[in-house]
Amino acid sequence: MEETNLFETENKWPRPNADLFKLGINENTIILKSNPNKDEEFFGYALDFRKAANILTSHVLEHPRIENLDTYFFPIAFLYRHSLELILKAIALKNITDLAEGRLFLKETFHNLSEILTKIEPFIRGNFGKDKGEYVWLQNLFEDMSNIDRDSDSFRYPFSLSLIRDEDPFNEGTKVFAIRLLFEEQTHINLVALASKMEIAFNILNAYYKSTHINSVKYKKYKPIFLEVGGSYYGQSVLGYSYNRKKFGPYVKGYTGSAEFLVKYSKTNPNYMKSLFMPMGYLFRNGIELAMKEILFEECSFDFQEAARKVNRKKHKLLGIWNLIENDIINHAKPSENNNTIDYVRDYVSQLHNFDTEADKFRYPTDKNLSAHFRKPMKLDFITVSEFFGELANFLFGVVLMMSHQNELQAEIEYENSKMQWEHNGL
């Protein structure tokens, strides 16, 4: 890709003076205002994330495209899993009214669904069915889910970093990391069964939250296994087959593509704008973070260990990650002196960073200390926010294409040069 194509396009591209908070017509205005009843707030978020998961799942199954079945799996699995975490916490906070106890509960259970269910068992045992069957099924399902995704990151990122040694023996004072992949080999996941089990689990917890009895025995049709293999050809997600080199690509496509679909869905179903705003925002926000980490790990000049150390320090802070990759992007693009695109992009990233520094504004109604995010009402425009995200995401996609192409050409040149050197030396 030529530099002029990257930095001088006008289609869905970063603009000067873009404003995340600019309001448009009233029909697109979203008012964010915290509910003093924290359990109701968490329950509302749970309903929204479950709705987004349901809409995306219906879309990929009713209009099956192999690419979407594979890449949309990641956001769908996250959205469903997150909806269960939110409703579990809603049940807890409905019964834990002391602020200090609530904070301790969040600290002790974190994102672990199995741990949360165990903690809330005393609050819900009066709503168990006659044989306690649905609760046992939930226990087994959540235990299996926690073995796969204890910290709610397996479906948000292509790998997790684990510290091997606090210090590299060949480089004093530096940490050494390894990666853990969710799927080490090609795996065919039954997406229909996954969605069905997530819906059943949510309905059971919904009854617990509302203190009603479970009348359905649908859970008996399904094994309490989170990721079940098999299913029909157009009802399964094939994972793990293309991650040897490009690990981030499927995740970036899945998160940004699913966010764009929710925007499209909301435009034709405007009554859903409010309920889909937070899921849409999180999908885009995570897609942006993934795209920047894709550039850092796969296209920048850092080796893996250096990139791992840098991203381990920055965590989810968008501005910090951007600062790591900006110079490499400029060196590849070589924009003209009068081209200010990189300044526009930095402004986009800064606005998102300042709004959602800890990557929790779109995921939870409170921070980890149960302090509400929106104690004062905040107005945002659904279309403005979605276009803001889309313009930044499109830029980062273009950067990946440009840098990948240039890096491949450079690798070919280096290979040919080394080959000529070998031949010259008679090797």
d(Cα 290, Cα 157) in Å, to the nearest integer?
Answer: 7
pLDDT in tens, 245-293: 458 999 999 999 999 999 999 999 999 999 999 999 999 999 999 999 9
% of the chain with per-residue pLDDT over 90: 79
Supply the pLDDT for residue 246.
58
Q: Is the pLDDT of residue 424 over 70?
A: no
Distances (CA, A) of 294 to 129, 171, 250: 47, 25, 11
Q: What is the mean pLDDT of residues 381-397?
A: 97
pLDDT digits (tens, 9 = 90+) for 196-214: 999 999 999 999 999 998 8
Q: Which helix (H) or strand (E) holds 397?
A: helix 382-424
pLDDT digits (tens, 9 = 90+) for 107-127: 999 999 999 999 999 999 988
Given this model, what pLDDT does residue 427 score? Answer: 54
For helices 341-355 and 318-333, give the axis angle rounded to 10 degrees: 170
pLDDT of 141 above 80: yes
Assign 4 a pLDDT band (cuts: 50, 70, 90): very low
The pLDDT-based confidence of 162 (bands split at 50, 70, 90) is confident
Which stretches does DSSP call E strand in 133-213? 159-165, 176-181, 187-190
Residue type, 280: M
pLDDT of residue 243: 45
Nearest CA to 73 among 157, 160, 191?
191
Share of the chain above pLDDT 70, in %: 92
State the average pLDDT over residues 226-237. Answer: 94
Is there a contact between 164 and 177 (Cβ–Cβ < 8 Å)? yes
Taking residues 7-29, report their average pLDDT. Answer: 86
Q: Pick the closest to residue 292 from 242, 330, 349, 244 (CA basis).
A: 349
**pLDDT at residue 1 is higher than 50:** no
Residue whose structure tokens are 């009603």: 212
Angstrom distance (rounded) from CA 342 to CA 83: 37
Residue 51's pLDDT is 98
Nearest to 20 by CA among 381, 408, 418, 400: 381
The one-letter amino acid at 106: L
Q: Strand 236-239 to strand 187-190: parallel, antiparallel, or no bridges (unpaired)?
A: antiparallel
* Tokens representing residue 152 in the block: 């709610």
- Residue 244's pLDDT is 47
The size of the chain, in residues, is 427
How confident is the prediction for the chain on average, in pLDDT? 91
Q: Are the beta carbons of 87 and 206 closer than 8 angstroms?
A: yes
pLDDT digits (tens, 9 = 90+) for 408-422: 898 778 767 766 677
pLDDT band, residue 240 (cuts 50/70/90): confident
Residues of 285-319 as b/e, b for ≥16 C-beta within 10 angstroms? bbbbbbbbbbbbbbbbebeebebbbbbeebebbbe
383-402 average pLDDT score: 97
Q: At what angle do helices 341-355 and 382-424 cross, to 10 degrees?
A: 120
CB atoms within 10 A of CB 263: 21
Q: Which residue did the predictor score with more confidence, 136 or 169?
A: 136
The whole-number pLDDT of residue 106 equals 96
What is the rounded CA–CA span in Å between residue 396 and residue 292?
A: 7
pLDDT of residue 233: 92
Q: Is the pLDDT of residue 173 over 90?
A: no
pLDDT in the model for residue 161: 87
What is the pLDDT, as a whole number, of residue 9? 45
Tokens of 182: 């969710």
Query: What distance in Å separates the CA atoms of residue 275 and residue 258, rounded to the nearest whole number?
Result: 15
**pLDDT average, residue stretch 357-370:** 96
- Here the tokens at position 206 are 């919904």
- What residues does each domain of the chain span? 3-424
Give SS3 for 66.
helix
Q: What is the pLDDT of residue 309?
A: 93
Closest CA relative to residue 156, chosen from 177, 182, 130, 174: 182
